[in-house]
Every structure is written in C-alpha cells, then in structure tokens.
Amino acid sequence: MPWRNKPTPYAVWISEMMLQQTQVATVLPKFAHFVACFPNVRALAAAEEQAVLKAWEGLGYYARARNLHRAATIIVNELGGRFPRTAAAWRELPGIGAYASAAIASIAEGEAVPAVDGNVMRVMARFWGITADIMRPASRQTVYDALLPHIRRADPNRFNQGLMELGALVCRPRKPLCPSCPLARDCVARKTDRTESLPLKSRPKAGPHHAMVMLVVERQDQVLLARRPRDGLLGGLWEFPQGRRLEGESDVHAVARITRAETGYAVRVCGTLARVKHAFSHFRVTVLPVVCRCTGGALRAAPDGAELRWVTHEALKALPQTKVAREVGRQLGGEKRQGRAPPQPGAR
C-alpha cells in the first residue's frame, strides 16, 4: 500500500481518514487521485472545499473530507505547516479520533500508542477471551490499556500494523485461519472453541426508512441542481432537488407539492427513472427520480437553505455530487445516449 511504503505523516493521515468505514480496494485508486490533486498539506489547505469534495467523491461520509480540509488549514495557518508529533496533538485536529490519532502517530512518528480499530478489537477479544460487548467504548479502553505495556516493548509501527493485518487477513470475522495464526498457542477463543462466538458485538438498530422524490427538472440543455446546506448531512454536495413523500401520498401529488415547496417552479412530468436505494448510518431511503420539464414559475430559495442553480449537463459532471445524484445522473445520461425519453411514470 503506497501509504505504508513511504509513511510520511501526510500520506498516513490521508489514508487513515479514507480507510474509516471503507475497504482498502476502494481506497487505493482514490488515494492515488487525491494525493495527485493535493500532493501536500499546503496544496490541500489552499484548495477550494468544492475541489476537495470532488476529489473525495465515491468514498462517502463526506464529513471526513471537510474535516481533512479544515485540519489542513489549521496545520498550515496555526502550526506553521508542521504536522503534530504525538497522538494527543493529532487528536486536537478536526475529525481525528482515538484510533486515527494513534495510528498516525505510531506509524509516522513511532509513538508507542496502540491503535485499536475494529480488527484489533476482534483479535484481542478472541485472544484474551473478552466477553464484554466490543461496541462499548469501555471495551475499547480495556483493550487499549492492556496493549499499552506490550507496545512499549516493541516497534510501535510494526506492532500496530501487525495486529491490524492479523485481524484483516487471519483472524477474520468468519472462519478465522487459526492454524496459520502466530497467536494460536495462547489464544483463549481457540483453546475454548469460541472463535465463532467471540467477539460479542451488539448490532446497531436499523434506522427508519423514507420514501423520497427527486426532481430532475430540465430546461433546454440545463438541469436544476441544489447544493445541500454546508453544515448538514452531505453538506456542500450537489444533488437534484428532493423531498420526502408523505405517508399515503401518491407520487403525482408528491411531485407537485415538492416542486412547489423546493423550487417555486411549475413542471410537467415526463417520466421516471429506476428507484435508487441508499443506506445512511442511521436511516435508509428509496428515491424515485422524476424527470420534469419546467413550464413556468420563478426560482426561489429552498426552505432548507439549499442553493439552487441551473447548470448544463456538461457542467454537472464537474460538481461534487451525492451518491444518489450520481446514480440518477448516470441513468439520465443512459436514456439520453439512447435518444429516448425516460419511461412513463407508474405513479400511484
């Protein structure tokens, strides 16, 4: 992995932010693209937030990108361009928690602090036979405290990376490869035949589900876009205006109501695209994209503070967009390439 071959603080920091809740295979090309766009912390601090969000596109959890940008600004403007040297100092920066700060400080600076991520929790819960719920913060602190004397006697960089790799490759969530494991001789879970039942992990509650209507309003070669309010979920990203369909409301009625409320325009419905499902950490949505033509009215501010703007289909590609908007744009592009109008609505 490029950030491991040459573990500069910048490379380790960017990679650790990207790897949170994201697979290594997804991160590899995005990391290469991101550091090509912003080769160092000064370039990142000098960039427009929109450019940072665009380079982050596809990784999700955009708060991480905004925090990276804010932290880069602090490093350049307040720390004279010098990176923090300790985990405690890294933790002062936006978006950097206990795990990330320890990972960066141990890998880039050799500080003897355990980096306890989900993989390490699983390995140690099995190795020590920990029966507490590993999702509880107290369990993480227990493992951190127990690892501390061991890492002090070792090379912190290799110790942390070794444990993480062991969790990723050998002590896997299902069917751990115990015969190949260097910890096998002393592993409590293996000796007591509990490798499948440990660790104990409570499931987060499934959040509510919302049916949404997304308006793809077209005018000549332009389409209407909304930029989400900067401080909310997916803040600063572009999408097509949308609203929640009310309980028992028909799609047709929802389109008319949401168009009036979100844009001020009157529209004629031309058709729908395929529904798009998306899961956020605390709720799920099913989005019905409705393609419309603007027939009158005047643009006015969206009630949630979103910025509305007409853009050409070409300009749309250069804007950082939500995942759902990109999928809707992809469907729309497919319909246009095939030279046909979107399919007619199966409106209720």
Residue 146 is a binding residue for ligand SF4 (CB under 6 A): no
> In sequence order, which residues have a C-beta less than 8 Å from that of residue 120 and are 6 or more positions away?
114, 143, 147, 160, 163, 164, 167
Site string for ligand SF4, 2-41 (x = CB under 6 A): ----------------------------------------
> Using CB under 6 A, which residues numbered 191 to 220 contact ligand SF4?
195
State both tokens at 68: 């990276």
181 binds ligand SF4 (CB under 6 A): yes
Q: Is 147 in the site for ligand SF4 (CB under 6 A)?
A: no
Tokens of 232: 């909310």
For the chain, how far is it from start to end, CA to CA, in angstroms?
Answer: 51
66 binds ligand SF4 per the rule CB under 6 A: no
Binders of ligand SF4 among residues 68 to 127 (CB under 6 A) are 123, 126-127
Among 16, 109, 262, 327, which one carries the catalytic annotation?
A: 16
Among 60, 84, 118, 176, the residue binding ligand SF4 under the rule CB under 6 A is 176
Q: Does 130 bind ligand SF4 (CB under 6 A)?
A: no
Among 178-186, 211-219, 257-265, 281-289, which window interacts with ligand SF4 (CB under 6 A)?
178-186
Nearer to ligand SF4, 88 or 177 (CB): 177
Q: Using the rule CB under 6 A, is 62 a contact of ligand SF4?
A: no
Element (H, E) at 219: strand 209-219
Q: Which of 28, 79, 135, 184 binds ligand SF4 (CB under 6 A)?
A: 184
Task: Find the shortest distance in angstroms from Cβ 180 to ligand SF4.
Answer: 8
Backbone angles phi, psi at 336, to 5 degrees: -70, -40
State how far the alpha carbon of 336 is from the alpha carbons of 12, 64, 150, 339, 340, in Å: 42, 34, 61, 5, 6
Q: Tell me the number of residues near ligand SF4 by CB under 6 A.
A: 15
Both structure tokens of 270: 């031309």
Indicate whether 178 belongs to the interface with ligand SF4 (CB under 6 A): yes
How many C-beta atoms lie closer than 10 Å to residue 9's C-beta? 19
Shortest approach of ligand SF4 to residue 187 CB, angstroms?
Answer: 3
Q: Return the range that interacts with ligand SF4 (CB under 6 A); candidates 60-68, 157-165, 181-189, 290-298.
A: 181-189
Mode of pairing for the β-strands spanning 284-297 and 276-279: antiparallel
| Shortest Cβ 312–ligand SF4 spacing (Å) | 55
Are 12 and 103 within 8 A, CB to CB? Answer: yes
Which range touches ligand SF4 (CB under 6 A), out of 168-176, 200-208, 218-226, 277-285? Answer: 168-176
**Residue 187 or 258 with smaller CB distance to ligand SF4:** 187
Active site residue 16: yes
- Compare residues 121 and 123 and give the one whose CB is closer to ligand SF4: 123
Mark 160-179 as b/e (b = at least 16 C-beta within 10 Å). Answer: bbebbebbeebbeeeebeee
**Of the candidates 163, 189, 292, 316, which one interacts with ligand SF4 according to CB under 6 A?**
189
Site stretch for ligand SF4 (CB under 6 A), options 54-62, 79-87, 182-190, 255-263: 182-190
Q: Is 134 in the site for ligand SF4 (CB under 6 A)?
A: no
Rounded to whole angstroms, the maximal C-alpha distance in the chain is 75
Nearer to ligand SF4, 174 or 337 (CB): 174
Question: So which residues are the catalytic ones?
Answer: 16
Binding residues (CB under 6 A) for ligand SF4: these are 123, 126-127, 170-171, 176-178, 181, 183-184, 187, 189-190, 195
